[in-house]
Amino acid sequence: MENKYQKRKDSGYSDYSRENSIDNREYKRESKYSEEEYIFGVRAVIEAIKANRVLNKIFIQKGLNKDLFLELKEALKGESHQLQFVPIEKLDAITENNHQGVIALVSPIEYYKIEEVVEELIEEGKKPFVLALDRITDVRNFGAIARTAECEGVDAILIPSKGSAHVTSDAIKTSAGALNRIKVCKTNSLKDSLYYIQQCGLRIVACTEKSKIPLFETNLRGSVAVIMGSEKDGITSDLINLADISCRIPMRGEIASLNVSVAAGMVLYEKLRQELH
C-alpha cells in the first residue's frame, strides 16, 4: 500500500528515512494550531499579505520551489513579516492539506504602534502605563500576564516582533479575553520604542533581581513603563541601562526565583496600590 512518504517522493520530494519519520511525529506532538489560526498555500498567503491581514509568522519550507519562492518574495517586498524557514515535516504537522511549502499564522487581534498609543493617551490628559515584555516566549505565561495587566490598569503591552510569544487562541484563552481588551504593540526594536516613550515623559522601570532597590521602595506612580524579562536570563543589559530605575522583588526562600507571570502580577499590583494610597 502506497504511503504518503512514497507519494512525496514521486512528486519530487526526497525520500524519508525512519529517523525523519520519527522527527515528523515529534512535530505532530508539538503542533497545536487550530484551522482558524493559519492560512496555507502560496497564493492564499500572498493574497493575505496584499489584503494587509495581520500575520504572526510565515513558515517557508527550506528549498522551496524557486518559482513559488520568487513569487512570495515579490509579495513580501517592503513588508516586515517574521519569516521562518523550516523542514517540510514542520508544515505537514500543521496541516495535511497541500500547503505548497508555505503556511502563515494569522493573528486573532490587531497590533498597535506604541508611539501612537502613548501619544494618544497623553493628548487625552492621561498618564500612560505600559508593560514591556522582553523575550517572554511562553504563550500561557503571556496570556496570564495580559489578564493581570488588564485587571491592574495597564494601557498597553509592548513586545518585540521577534523572540517573543505571539497572540494566539491559547494566549487569548489564558488571558480570559483580556487580550481583546488591552492594546498589544509590536516593535522591531524594544530599546528604540522604550527610548521614544521615555522622551514622551514615561519613567522606565526595570524589574530585575540584579537591582538592590526593593519593589516597595520604588516610586511607580504616574506615567511609567515597567519592563519584565525572560525567566531564562532576565532583562537584556541594554534595556537595564536605558531604564530610569531598577527594582527587585524581595524574597526569602532558597529558590529565589518566580514565574514571570507571578512576578509581573506583584509589580503591577504594587503600582496600583501606590496609586490608590
Cell numbers representing residue 3 in the block: 504511503
Whether pLDDT at 12 is above 70: no
Whether pLDDT at 163 is above 90: no
Q: Residue 173 is part of a domain; what is its CATH number?
A: 3.40.1280.10
Residues forming beta bridges with residue 246, ordered by sequence position: 206
Section 190-198 average pLDDT: 98
Give the pLDDT of residue 36: 62
CB 148: neighbour CB atoms within 10 A?
20
* Residues 164 and 260 occupy one common structural domain: yes
Split into its structural domains, the chain has a count of 2
* Residues 118 and 221 occupy one common structural domain: yes
Residue 260 CB-half CA count within 13 A: 26
* Residues 92 and 128 occupy one common structural domain: no
What radius of gyration do the chain's Cα atoms show?
A: 22
pLDDT digits (tens, 9 = 90+) for 62-75: 988 788 888 888 88
The helix (run of H) or strand (run of E) holding residue 147 is helix 139-151
* Residues 200 and 250 occupy one common structural domain: yes
Amino acid at site 38: Y
Give the pLDDT of residue 104: 92
CB 175: neighbour CB atoms within 10 A?
23
Domain boundary residue, one of 106, 122, 151 = 106
pLDDT digits (tens, 9 = 90+) for 119-147: 999 999 999 999 999 999 999 999 999 99
* Residues 39 and 118 occupy one common structural domain: no
CB 88: neighbour CB atoms within 10 A?
20
* Residues 120 and 249 occupy one common structural domain: yes
Q: Residue 82 is part of a domain; what is its CATH number?
A: 3.30.1330.30
Residue 233 CB-half CA count within 13 A: 4
Which residues are CB-contacts of 245 (< 8 A; sequence separation ≥ 6)?
Answer: 203, 204, 205, 206, 213, 218, 219
pLDDT digits (tens, 9 = 90+) for 244-272: 999 999 998 887 788 999 999 999 999 99
* Residues 256 and 150 occupy one common structural domain: yes
Residue of 37, 16, 10, 13 whose CA lies nearest to 166: 37
Domain span at residue 8 reads: 4-106
State pTM to two decimals.
Answer: 0.78
* Residues 212 and 139 occupy one common structural domain: yes
**From start to end of 83-229, where are the E strands?**
83-86, 102-106, 129-134, 156-160, 183-187, 203-207, 224-229
* Residues 69 and 161 occupy one common structural domain: no
* Residues 162 and 263 occupy one common structural domain: yes
Three-state SS at 18: helix
Q: What CA–CA distance (Å, rounded) separates 165 from 133? A: 10
* Residues 120 and 85 occupy one common structural domain: no
Domain boundary residue, one of 106, 136, 160 = 106
Domain boundary residue, one of 106, 133, 167 = 106
Mean pLDDT of the chain: 86
